[in-house]
Chains A and B, each alone.
Chain A
Amino acid sequence: MVYKASSDMNEKELFERIRSGDEKALEFLYKKYYRMMTKMVITNSGTEEEARDIYQDALIVFWQKATSGNLVMTSKISTYIYSICQNLWRKELDRKKRLSNETNDTPVSIDTDSAEREKIIARCINQLGETCKKVLMYYYFEEMSMQDIAEKLGFANTDTAKTKKYKCKKKLDELVKAQYSERDFLD
């Protein structure tokens, strides 16, 4: 029996959709390569949970690079993501090895200030409206252009997107600085 399959997207189209920040394409990609990528970790001493984490991290690295326009594909998408998975898993194995080599009485230093600051910021981000969150995430994580943000969020034009981003960032800035002042995090 001969089995053939096709999707409505070839590699180029899939990459273009990823580049434009199409989350449906990301979901498609995730499901498509799930077994292939997790298999690499599982067959190299990883658990299924670790495999899933590594694959998700790798896919998000790929997503971020693609949406920010910092990626020119010279290989298949799967080959690229696979190599990220391999690198991430190697790092994780090294980290585990280092941990197991350390003696139990080694003092563990925890930066409590830094952890506290992270919590404050996460709380403040959650206080923003959904559109504000999206604008800031698209701008700082996906590194999208104002034009793309305006199109994605249905703003009238680029200027509206710019203004929205400015106001949202200012709001977050104020929320965070108020909390930082209370805890003397501001010098």
Chain B
Amino acid sequence: MATERDLELLDDYLSNRLKGPERIEFERRLETDASLQNELAVQRDLVEGIRAARVTELKTMLNQLPVPPASGGSIAAKFAAWAIAVAVVGLGSYYLWQHTTTDEPTSAETAAVQRDESAVTSDEPTQSEQPAEEAVPSAKDNVESDAADNANVPAEQPTVKKETETAPKVSPPIQPDVTPYDPTRELETPNGRPEPLTDPGEPHSVESSIVVEVVDTGKRNDFHYQFKDGKLYLLGSFEKDLYEIMEFFNDDNKRTVFLYYNSAYYLLDETRTEPTPLTPITDPELLQKLRNYRDR
């Protein structure tokens, strides 16, 4: 029969809390004490059972989360998806612009979309080695540094700074400007032939230029936002959850900003300097485009 002290030691031993000479001494005792060995076997079963139960619990939790469809499907499926994406550009862009306030002619916007697509493609050499899912900023204070990230950031920063410096105090009306994800890009090689999708390598990381501050206002202005003093303020209890800011720049350096929070997307109007309620986007085409970008 194991004593209370033995049970304590067994507990520390099995939970990796018994270290150094104490552990060595205890292992010596275990070699010669049959009853302690029996108790160890039972306690090991218990601890392993608790660990297995926790793994099951975590897996159940993860299985309940919505996830994007896994990539790597058949090439035919990818081309089919690409064809749908082309249809969205061709037919959907007009529809999209109809739903937004604009100062510019429709034809100019269509041309902008086409130029935008080529701009994305020209980034491919940098991105081809990097899975596009990555969106965590590669800040200098990261746990570790990454050469690939550091190489990316300077290339992107001039665009951001230019926008910040030249942006008028009152932003022009919002023009959501997003382009559908072209799944064939990841299949293309310089010789124009698809190649197997293998190691995605290091992820891509581009940091948004917007400074965000969360202000818990209690019940007043809960789930609102405002742009003030060059910052975006999210008003409400956001700190308990996770949010993402998505920025889109067109050729004229016009910026459109979206918030992603709790599986919903919100358009952020930069002219709003007073607390403004957050209203989820419901336009299915715009939602699809945002999802496509976020999933990359």
Q: Quick check: B247 and A5 within 8 Å, CB to CB?
A: yes
Partner of A10, one of B38, B113, B141: B141
Q: Quick check: A176 and B202 within 8 Å, CB to CB?
A: no
Which residue in chain B gives the minimum CB-CB distance to A33? B133
Which residues of A171-187 have CB atoms within 8 Å of chain B's CB atoms? 172-173, 176-177, 180, 186-187
Number of contacting residues on A, CB 8 A?
71
State whether the Cβ of A153 lies closer than 8 Å to any Cβ in chain B: no
Residues of B with C-beta under 8 A to A26 = 58, 61-62
Which residue in chain A gives the minimum CB-CB distance to B146? A76
State whether the Cβ of A141 lies closer than 8 Å to any Cβ in chain B: yes
Task: Give the distance in Å from the alpha carbon of A76 to the alpha carbon of B134 in the complex.
Answer: 11
Query: Can you list, as one digit per residue, whether each of B126-163 has a CB less than 8 Å from chain A (1) or not (0)?
Result: 00000101111111011110100000000010011000
State whether the Cβ of B91 lies closer than 8 Å to any Cβ in chain A: no
Q: Quick check: B72 and A6 within 8 Å, CB to CB?
A: no
Point out which of A5, A75, A77 has the most chain B C-beta atoms below 10 A from its C-beta. A5
Which residues of A90-115 have CB atoms within 8 Å of chain B's CB atoms? none
Q: Quick check: A12 and B139 within 8 Å, CB to CB?
A: yes
State whether the Cβ of B241 lies closer than 8 Å to any Cβ in chain A: yes
Residues of B with C-beta under 8 A to A75 = 144, 146
Which residue in chain B gives the minimum CB-CB distance to A133? B53
Partner of A118, one of B47, B49, B55, B143: B49
B28 to chain A, nearest CB (A): 21
DSSP class of A's interface residues: helix, strand, loop or mixed? Answer: helix
State whether A40 and B38 are in contact (beta carbons under 8 Å apart), knowing that A5-B245, A11-B144, A24-B240 are contacts in the complex: no
Q: Quick check: A42 and B71 within 8 Å, CB to CB?
A: yes
State whether the Cβ of B97 lies closer than 8 Å to any Cβ in chain A: no
Partner of B67, one of A6, A34, A74: A34
Partner of B136, one of A7, A30, A40: A7
Task: Give the distance in Å from the alpha carbon of A35 to the alpha carbon of B142 in the complex.
Answer: 23
Q: Quick check: B135 and A12 within 8 Å, CB to CB?
A: no
A125 to chain B, nearest CB (A): 5
Q: Quick check: A32 and B131 within 8 Å, CB to CB?
A: no
A155 to chain B, nearest CB (A): 19
Residues of B with C-beta under 8 A to A177 = 42
Partner of A43, one of B116, B196, B238: B196
Task: Give the distance in Å from the alpha carbon of A30 to the alpha carbon of B68 in the complex.
Answer: 11
Q: Quick check: A40 and B199 within 8 Å, CB to CB?
A: yes
State whether the Cβ of A156 lies closer than 8 Å to any Cβ in chain B: no
Residues of B with C-beta under 8 A to A139 = 15
Which residue in chain A gives the minimum CB-CB distance to B249? A2
A58 to chain B, nearest CB (A): 11
State whether the Cβ of B285 lies closer than 8 Å to any Cβ in chain A: no
Number of contacting residues on B, CB 8 A?
87
Residues of B with C-beta under 8 A to A118 = 45, 49, 52
Q: Quick check: A32 and B136 within 8 Å, CB to CB?
A: yes
A117 to chain B, nearest CB (A): 6
Q: Quick check: A143 and B50 within 8 Å, CB to CB?
A: no
Residues of B with C-beta under 8 A to A5 = 135, 206, 208, 244-247, 293-294
Q: Quick check: A43 and B72 within 8 Å, CB to CB?
A: yes
State whether A42 and B72 are in contact (beta carbons under 8 Å apart), knowing that A76-B203, A172-B46 are contacts in the complex: yes
Task: Give the distance in Å from the alpha carbon of A169 to the alpha carbon of B141 in the complex.
Answer: 41
Which residues of B158-217 have CB atoms within 8 Å of chain A's CB atoms? 159-160, 177-179, 196-200, 202-203, 206-210, 212, 214
Q: Quick check: B138 and A11 within 8 Å, CB to CB?
A: yes
Which residues of B23-68 have CB atoms within 8 Å of chain A's CB atoms? 38, 42-43, 45-55, 57-59, 61-63, 65-68
State whether the Cβ of B117 lies closer than 8 Å to any Cβ in chain A: yes
Residues of A with C-beta under 8 A to B210 = 6
Residues of B with C-beta under 8 A to A28 = 242
Task: Give the distance in Å from the alpha carbon of A117 to the alpha carbon of B294 in the complex.
Answer: 46
Residues of B with C-beta under 8 A to A14 = 136
| A-B residue pairs in contact (CB < 8 Å), sample of 22 | A2-B159, A3-B206, A6-B208, A6-B210, A7-B245, A11-B138, A11-B144, A28-B242, A31-B65, A34-B70, A42-B72, A43-B72, A52-B70, A56-B63, A75-B146, A76-B203, A78-B134, A78-B202, A118-B45, A118-B49, A121-B45, A137-B50
Residues of chain A at the chain B interface (Cβ within 8 Å): 1-12, 14-15, 23-28, 30-36, 38-40, 42-44, 48, 51-52, 56, 59-60, 63, 68, 73-79, 82, 117-118, 121-122, 124-125, 133, 136-137, 139-143, 169, 172-173, 176-177, 180, 186-187
